[in-house]
Structure 1
Amino acid sequence: MAGQWVKGSTSLDVLDKFDQSIAASVSLAGPEELEQALSAAAAAHRAGAPSPNARALILERAIPLIASRRDEFRKLMAIEAGFPQADADGEIDRCQETLRLAAIAARELTGEMVPMTGSPHGQGRMGFTRRVPVGPVLAITPFNSPLNTVTHKVAPAFAAGNPVILRPASATPSVAALLVEVLAQAGVPSGFIAHLPCTSANAEKLVADLRIRFITFTGSTAVGKSIQAKAGLRRTQMELGSIASTVLCADADLASAMPKVVAGSFRKAGQVCSSIQLLHVHRSILDAVMDSLVRGANAMTVGSPAAAGTVIGPLISLESADRVEAWVREAEAQGARLATPFKREGSLIHPVILTDVKPDMRISCEEVFGPVLAVLPFDEFAEVIERANASPFGLAAGVFTKNLDIVSQAIEGLDVGGLHFNETSSSRIDLMPYGGVKDSGFGLEGPKFAVAEMTEERLVTIRM
């Protein structure tokens, strides 16, 4: 913070997610460090940001620095997040793309002309808007995307000209610290970036401090609601919970769809907000889909993230694995059937496919956040719309079809923030606007859109 690494008065042990050993001890910010970071951010905002071009150049300089430290990021994500190499590389590659897009957004930061003379009262006046920084941004980030989601918050905040205080997930603080180190090396000025791991109680103090002008949060709906209640009239961006649906219609191209469905259900051990939790399958293709699903799930290597060939690593904690197992056992007791045998070793859970799932089961109506897929047959697409919209969440959905009538029904009927045809609910490209509706939150990620969220549009008029 304020350009210096500072040792806090307390520390947190960070576990290796595979073997539960203590991997590191991370210094935690206390009240004194919080005040220093807040004061530095407020002072940096008052002093003013570098020009948009200078901000873009800094973000661009960070890209090769990220690439040069790929092995360090891989190692940290394997230990702290339990990511196999493919998942870690995906985070690293997307982080670089997000930085590039944020640099473009900084250069293209613009307002618009206001046609004053279009009004009889505006004759002789010129009007335009300009985008100005909203002020210090607090970014609270999750464990399941410890590099790219952090970049999606920090890079647009700086691209918009704001100082940013980053409170990373307690499970993955070192990945975020390495990113901040790279950004500082690239030239982010003192006061414009702070890495502040801290307790939940101290994070609440950051949220409550009125020097913070914008809060961007990714995490659970319950915590998001608490933050929003404390934010008052200050602006926020919330990416919250989800129960994502993907649909395989009768005409779905299964050769193309099934590899995407298997990956979209189980990658990162299912710990992705838009992971497929409910797979709606037209009854006419159910047998073929189930055969492909089971074969695909059984072919995924589950094990140590450090081992070559591992596809699915551990869940983030033993407690998370306990919860996922309890939900699966509960669904079984209520009549659901396992299409794959339940297998668990410590925090590792092998892919779970459930059938005969009822709408009132917890597995249908709460976010599982684990490698569990529920398969639900349907006869008419209207059933899918009714089921999906019954959820309190609305982040994303995927529909595999070439039927334009179904495409139209889905566009008009599904209440989600993102709808992807012939891709899964888990499809995301970093330049897209990304956000949900209902209990999945509001506001948008995607650098261009996040920069707009993190700026104020100021009106300027001039009488000529």
Structure 2
Amino acid sequence: MTSNGAASGTEAAPYGFWLAGREAAGKETFEVTSPWDGSLVGRVGVPTEEQVEQAVAAAAAVRDAFAATPAHVRAAALDHVSRRLAERTEEIAALITAENGKPLKWARGEVGRAVSVFRFAAEEARRFNGGDLQRLDTDPGGVGRLALTRRFTRGPVLGIAPFNFPLNLVAHKVAPAIAVGAPIILKPAPATPLSALLLGELLAETEGLPEGAWSVLPVPNDRMPALVEDPRLPVISFTGSDTVGHRIQDSVPRKHVTLELGGNAAAVVLADWSSEEDLEWAATRIATFANYQAGQSCISVQRVIADAAVYDALAEKVVTKVRAQATGDPGDPATDVGPLVSEAAAERVADWIADAVAKGAKLLTGGDRDGASVAPTVLADLPADAVLANAEAFGPVLSLHRVNGADEAFAAVNDSRFGLQTGVFTHDLQLAFKAHRVLEVGGVIVGDAPSYRADQMPYGGVKDSGHGREGVRFAMDDYTYERVLVLTGLDL
């Protein structure tokens, strides 16, 4: 792949993009800059409208051929990408840090997760679609009949990825599509396209995938609606804001659209989680995962809902541990919290903090902004009319809430238009199962923060957090549909 050396002080040609599996160059370019210091990371070619048309046409043309590709071919390609990601971990992590501002320690973790996603997809490709047999002679009219149900691709996928995990959330679009043999057009976030383009380089090294099986097109956001509405792309997998996601859904009601949208994730600490060891663990996990991507994660801890029996002791520990988060240069391996993706994003978060304080919230620590960086922030007594009480912060800020009992805690969790994941700190198995039953979220994490995600598990939300599920096998289901074959005249 043609890469730009601007980040290291050298001049080089712009990054190319990937059109139907081949590298291509655009007539125009745009710049990718570091959120940390504003330095140029790279210049990226912009696909022309004609090139986008070529990519979509190629995906549509290869639909049947790719679906018929043997499983071992698709699995081998996915295995190759997994291995190559592992081999180039340090290089890719440095690229994520440069374009995204993510601290290097978390960027390395992101690469490791993408390694697993492609490995999981290779494994699933080998065992997917084995078929489900069903006897139909349970009624007299079904004597001698057998139903075989298999899954088939819905057609080419438009994958739209966000900036906060510029490699791993791209992997969650691309790997399941290849695993089922569905062509995919991948649109990376304009702020962070370089990791996706490097992933394209690894895909281009594979053998056996037909031309048109995949493209990586860094088109600007104002050209996204044309792709969304293109009838040749019947499946849309979008990760991003609820505002944009709902707009996509409303614009194409007849398409199969999966939406992984925002969150307002809560960590619930119940009365039985009361020992010194318990509270240390909860406070450590809360402080870490309220700030680990500068709060730019849909399941970052935003609300801490603590029983009155443990609230005071927990609050003291949380504030202490939040203050201990190392902030600064994301390229420093010791840094825990780096900048937000842009100065505008940091200004928004700082304004929302100021709004909360002006309306009566207590600022326990943080609240300051320096360029694109916001100091890790803890608020108490957040009023219901504060923006932060209802919106997704997507920044390094959390609020503390005192409740009486599990029922009040669970009601507070549900008092949100979002429903992605919740962490519940309890030793009580009955309360764990009750949380699973009553909480209006896509996932309940017991004994840990809501930010835990294993890449093979089903991941997604309800309410304004979207619908559909990621997690390799579950995305494969979303990219396919069931088709039944009835065999007649059998001697069963």
Q: Shared fold (TM-score greater than 0.5)?
A: yes
Which deviates further from its counterpart, 203-212 or 453-462? 453-462
Task: Specify the alignment match of 1:337 in structure 2.
Answer: 362
Q: Is 1:88 paired with 2:107?
A: yes
Q: Give the Cα–Cα distance (whole angstroms) in 2 for the partners of residues 342 and 450 of structure 1.
A: 38
Task: Confirm or deny: 8 A CA contact 1:80 1:171 kept in the other structure.
Answer: yes
Number of residue pairs matched? 464
Residue in 1 that maps onto 2:11:
none
CA–CA separation in structure 1 for the residues paired with 2:28 and 2:329: 31
Deviation string for 1:216-274 (max 9, x for gaps)? 00001111111112222221111011111110111212233222111111101000001
Aligned pair partner of 2:218 in 184, 188, 197: 197
List aligned pairs for 1:15-164, cutoff 5 A: 15-49=33-67, 50-110=69-129, 111-164=131-184
Question: Which of 231, 241, 261 is residue 286 of structure 2 equivalent to?
Answer: 261
Judge which range, 24-33 or 190-199, deviates more.
Answer: 24-33
Query: Match for 2:89: what amino acid?
Result: R
The Cα of 1:168 is off from its aligned counterpart by: 0.3
Distance 1:209-1:294 versus aligned 2 partners, 3 A rule: same
- Report Cα offsets for 1:288-339 as digits up to 9, x if no partner: 2122112211111111111231111110000000000000011111111111
After superposition, the C-alpha distances for 1:135-192 in whole angstroms (9 at most, x for unaligned) are: 1000000000111111011000110110110000011101100011112213343211
Identity of aligned residues (%): 39
Alignment-derived partner of residue 233 in structure 2: 212
Could you tell me how far 1:61 is from its partner in structure 2?
1.4
Give the secondary structure class of the aligned counterpart of 1:420. Answer: strand
Deviations 1:44-91 (A, max 9, x none): 113334211221111011112111211221121111110111111111
TM-score if structure 2 supplies the norm length? 0.92
**Aligned residue for 2:391?**
366
Cα distance, 1:405 vs structure 2: 3.9
Q: Does residue 1:388 correspond to 2:413, yes or no?
A: yes
Check conservation: 2:280, 2:317, Cα contact below 8 A. Answer: no
Displacement, 1:34?
1.1
Between the aligned partners of 2:40 and 2:108, the Cα distance in structure 1 is 24
Structure 2: runs of 5+ lacking an equivalent: 1-18
Q: Is the 8 A contact 1:30 1:202 kept in 2?
A: no
* Structure 1 SS opposite 2:202: helix
Cα drift, residue 403 of structure 1:
2.0
Q: CA deviation at 1:369?
A: 0.3
Tell me how far apart the structure 2 counterparts of residues 385 and 75 of structure 1 sit (CA, whole Å).
Answer: 40
Residues 328-337 or 299-308, more deviating: 299-308
Does 146-155 or 181-190 show the bigger shift? 181-190
The alignment partner of 2:211 has SS state of coil
Q: Give the partner amino acid of 1:361.
A: A
Q: TM-score, normalised by structure 1?
A: 0.97
| Distance (Å, rounded) in 2 between the aligned partners of 1:419 and 1:3 | 39
Contact 1:352 1:373 in 2 (8 A): yes
Distance 2:430 2:311 in 1: 21
Structure 1 distance, partners of 2:435, 2:383, is 22
| AA of the residue aligned to 2:374 | I
CA contact (8 A) 1:31 1:202 kept: no
Q: Which residue of 1 aligns with 2:479?
A: 454
Q: Distance in 2 between matches of 1:182 and 1:231?
A: 32
Secondary structure, in 3 states, of the residue corresponding to 1:307?
A: coil
Cα distance in structure 2, aligned partners of 1:358 and 1:403: 31
Letter of the 1:223 counterpart:
V
Corresponding residue of 1:13: 31
User: How far apart are the structure 2 equivalents of 1:399 and 1:3?
Assistant: 45
SS in 2 for 1:269: coil
Mean alpha-carbon deviation: is it higher for 137-146 or for 335-344? 335-344
Q: CA deviation at 1:113?
A: 1.0
1:437 maps to 2:462 = yes
Offset at 1:347? Answer: 0.7
Determine if the alignment matches structure 1 residue 235 to structure 2 residue 235.
no
- What's the offset of the Cα at 1:126? 2.1
Question: What SS does structure 2 have at the residue aligned with 1:77?
Answer: helix
Partner of 2:16: none
Separation of aligned partners in 2, 1:48 and 1:14: 33
CA RMSD, 1 decimal? 1.3
1:101 positional shift: 0.9
After TM superposition, give the deviation of residue 287 of structure 1 in Å: 2.1
- For residue 168 of structure 1, what is the aligned residue in structure 2? 188
